[in-house]
Chain A
Amino acid sequence: MNDTMIVTDSVKRFKWVGTRPIRPDGVPKVTGRALYGADLKLPGMLYGMILRSPHAHARIKSIDTSAAEALPGVKAVMTASDLPAQKFDYIGPERVAVNFWHVTRNILAREKVLYEGHAVAAVAATSGSIAAHAVSLIKVEYEVLPHVIDVDEAMAPGAPLLFEDMITRGIEPTPSVPSNISKRLEFALGDIEAGFRSADVVIEKEFKTAAVHQAYIEPHACVAKYEPDGQCEIWSSSQGHFQMRALTAQILGARLGDLRVTPAEIGGGFGGKTVTYLEPVAAILSKKAGAPVRLQMTREDVFRASGPTSGSSMWVKIGVMKNGTIVAADGIFKFQAGAFPGSPVMNGCLCAYAPYDIPNQRAVGYDVVSNRPKAAAYRAPGSPISAFAVESVIDMCAQAIGMDPLALRHKNACRIGTPTLAGPKHAHAGYSETLEALMKHPAYRVKLGPNQGRGVASGYWFNGGGESSATLQVNADGTVLVATGSPDIGGSRASMAIMAAETLGVDYNAVRAIVADTGSVGYTHVTGGSRVTFATGMAVVNASKSVVTEMCKRAALIWGVEADDVVWDDGYARPANAQAGDNKALSFKEIAAKAAATGGPITASHGVNAGGQAPGFASQFCDVEVDPETGRVTILRFVAAQDVGRAIHPAYVEGQIQGGVVQGIGWALNEEYIYNAKGLLDNPGFLDYRCPVASDLPMIDAVMVEVPNPTHPYGAKGVGEVGICPPMAAIANAIAMATGKRMTELPISPPRLLAALSS
């Protein structure tokens, strides 16, 4: 492929935006030179290891670390007693509502262990083998307790309680007895009962989805170096080193200014690396040992002890008129939070019907704890789960009234001004356009054979804005350094360089984008919520504009005119009027070379709290073939249309769409946590937890629909998440067409589908 191949209309307006330059992180990654969290080795570094619970649920009666401490080579041993107590208080955003009383107990257990793999104690030693031996010498006396894994069983009266004093929030009057239900939410619009009375067809169904892991390739890892003066440096792989700094500071009781966090290259995150597990432990071990300490998870640790997304149990009911108007939608969404409160059930509720103009809606959500690892964010957290249920029932409605499923969705598609369950009216278009792209797609008219079916589904995600910072430095040779605080998990370095080059009017290859540490650039919120190209991009563009202003001032000084007499045009300072005379245009490079003489280094920083982000809409269809003898589902074709605003680097945008679809295929067909009767995870590895591999997949046809966002200087919208919302329902709908069987539980694995076909 030509590395500047034109695929979007952006290049009609822009020189670099919309092109596909070679990714700046490509060579280090494909040659194995990129440094990830586990690659760093400091002089005198110790090897940390964590002792984890062998039980799903048990009371900790005692911990004896004396034998481990006495082992030669062991330099530090710690338990939760080495971390300060945290106040019980839900603070911050509703979905995450961080309660550090819970967070510190997830990092190291205190009164009880709440899931297999729950961290109990940690050691640091001069070698990995000594650390492993030391961990085996720690004696923990447990009182094993009954456990509960399934969300419906966890909600049932008499279920084993994870927290004996947990009273459900959001219910009035306040319940008098504790339960595993952390919170109840309800959102409503219109008159739900009247809506259903006006429907010609009403369909309701129950659904279940399995907890699935983000399955990033790189396990969590960090190195911490705590100095005697209280300064601490941390190198870690995360989606937000400022977030890691904040969380670690709170857990340690340290000041932000005493911590400096450097981001390592990241081998995938998908939301799962917005959480801290290791950093505070490594910091305390380093403080106790007086030496740097590295901690890293094994793959088994990742599965057992880091956040998957929630599994769920749902009920959805939708009413439709014979002409295709959807008049009412109702749903109950029960999400597993894992061992501590905080599932993405609110998002699941608010996104459930968001693509549609439905006058009467209700969504009730429950956040439920059970003896599983604490749920973490996963690509559009919550939205794919409710979309599976809602988009399945919409498909059944289309079938019941004999309407094409794309046409039904298009008839009810939200527009600018459509009310949402969240409250505000939609302010951006983009959904209808994705449906129209599929309707026009030639593959939608391909005839299907025996045992084959076609399924359609859509999805919605809010997308994020928020705080970001960028610093630009102009070098004497005219090259430019762009430093941001956004870890690059989806190609942001290339996108930032493109937007800087476009704004400055310089060659893309003269711009190098880096991810700077917390001491070298301003605060930047996590790389998550599909926010980076939008929000950090704004900071980069604004900083670039400041550089342009400075370049004009420097040119004016060189010419002996006023800055207002200089105009910036395509990378050159040119006379703006007669006062500027007939001076020859000065290039960016020429002005950069005169930096010392004209005032010193040319640099600019900008911070934004970006707002006005547009949501993501995606619509997809897929063709499947079901083997009636084995229950295996083969994906024959997958077409994914997404409103991308304007694709800054189209190859990365296609990659985001394809990646979301592939993860959705895994969620739909194979991925699940399998627990045995003791509540222990039986498949904590990629051999038994089956993600899709290349040979399972057709080429995913990513269709970029460009409805630019007017609030972003280049029209960008977040693209990283919404692509994972539709695949599960699209596949289930295709299977329903192929077999006549409506599959309501994920994953639709061969044994489960075969059982349904045999019933």
Chain B
Amino acid sequence: MGARIVFTAGFARRYTSGVREFEVEAKNLRGVLKAMDDLYPGLGAHLEDETTVAINGEYHETGYFQPVPPGAEVFFIPRIEGG
């Protein structure tokens, strides 16, 4: 069962022609980034540099090592910085 990849509307507008949802097979975020980069060359770097990721609601930095469980929702949102 693949992971459901979701982007914000703004991110999708900028980089994926408005398409917000994808399904990819990946065991970790590296696999997700590679799959998305294959679909949209250059997108992997944008995801690494500009986003925080929520895997089933849990926020993480967008690092290759994060495991992606089967059927997970992987939501990329703009990175948050605090005070």
Contact = CB atoms under 8 A, between A and B. Distances in A.
Interface string A183-206: 001111000000000000000000
A320 B2 CA distance: 38
Nearest to B74: A424
B1 to A, nearest CB: 18
B57 A424 contact: yes
A609 B53 CA distance: 13
Contacts, number: 114
Nearest to A529: B82
Given A92-B50, A377-B81, A463-B82, A423 B61 contact: no
B77 interface: yes
A170 B10 CA distance: 8
Given A92-B49, A611-B58, A612-B60, A528 B81 contact: yes
B59 interface: yes
A115 interface: no
Interface in B67-83: 73, 75, 77-83
A93 B50 contact: yes
Interface in B45-65: 49-50, 54, 56-61, 63, 65
A430 interface: no
Nearest to A418: B57
A685 to B, nearest CB: 23
Interface in A370-414: 377-381
Interface string A138-171: 0000000000000000000000000000000010
Interface stretch (A281-289, A464-472, A541-549): A464-472
A464 B52 CA distance: 10
Interface in B19-45: none
B83 A270 contact: yes
Interface residues of B, number: 26
Interface in A503-550: 528-531
Contacts of B66: 611
Contact of B60 (A272, A422, A465, A530): A465
A455 B31 CA distance: 49
A347 interface: yes
Interface in A165-184: 170, 172
B10 A377 contact: no
A262 B14 CA distance: 40
Given A94-B50, A467-B61, A423 B82 contact: no
A613 B59 contact: yes
A95 B81 contact: yes
B22 to A, nearest CB: 14
A723 interface: no
Contact of A424 (B10, B49, B59, B63): B59
Given A187-B8, A423-B54, A611 B82 contact: no
Given A424-B54, A424-B57, A711-B58, A188 B83 contact: no
B3 interface: no
Contact of B81 (A91, A96, A417, A613): A96
Interface size class of chain A, counting residues whose CB lies under 8 Å from the partner chain: 35 or more
A102 interface: no
A423 B80 CA distance: 13
Which among B49, B50, B83 has the highest number of chain A CB atoms within 10 Å?
A: B83
Contacts of A528: 81-83
Contacts of B82: 271, 377, 380-381, 461-464, 528-531, 718, 721
B20 to A, nearest CB: 9
A632 interface: no
A416 B63 CA distance: 24
Nearest to B83: A271
Contacts of B10: 170, 185-186
B63 A609 contact: yes
A322 interface: no
Contacts of A466: 61
B14 to A, nearest CB: 9
Interface in A439-487: 461-467
Most buried by A among B65, B77, B80, B82: B82
A350 B56 CA distance: 18
Contact of A94 (B57, B63, B78): B78
A528 B82 CA distance: 5
Interface string A586-610: 0000000000000000000000011
Contacts of B13: 172
A463 B10 CA distance: 23
Contact of B79 (A94, A272, A463): A94
Interface string A58-91: 0000000000000000000000000000000001
A425 interface: yes
B60 A424 contact: no
A379 B8 CA distance: 25
A186 B83 contact: no
Q: Which of A417, A466, A711 gathers the greatest number of chain B CB atoms within 10 Å?
A: A466
A427 B79 contact: no
Contacts of A94: 50, 78-79
A378 B83 CA distance: 5
Contacts of B78: 93-95, 346
Interface of B: 6, 8-10, 13, 49-50, 54, 56-61, 63, 65-66, 73, 75, 77-83
Interface of A: 91-96, 170, 172, 185-188, 214, 270-272, 274, 346-347, 350, 377-381, 416-417, 422-428, 461-467, 528-531, 609-613, 711, 718, 721
8 contacts: A91-B49, A92-B49, A93-B81, A422-B54, A423-B8, A427-B59, A428-B57, A609-B60
**3 closest pairs, A vs B, by CB?**
A529-B82, A271-B83, A611-B60
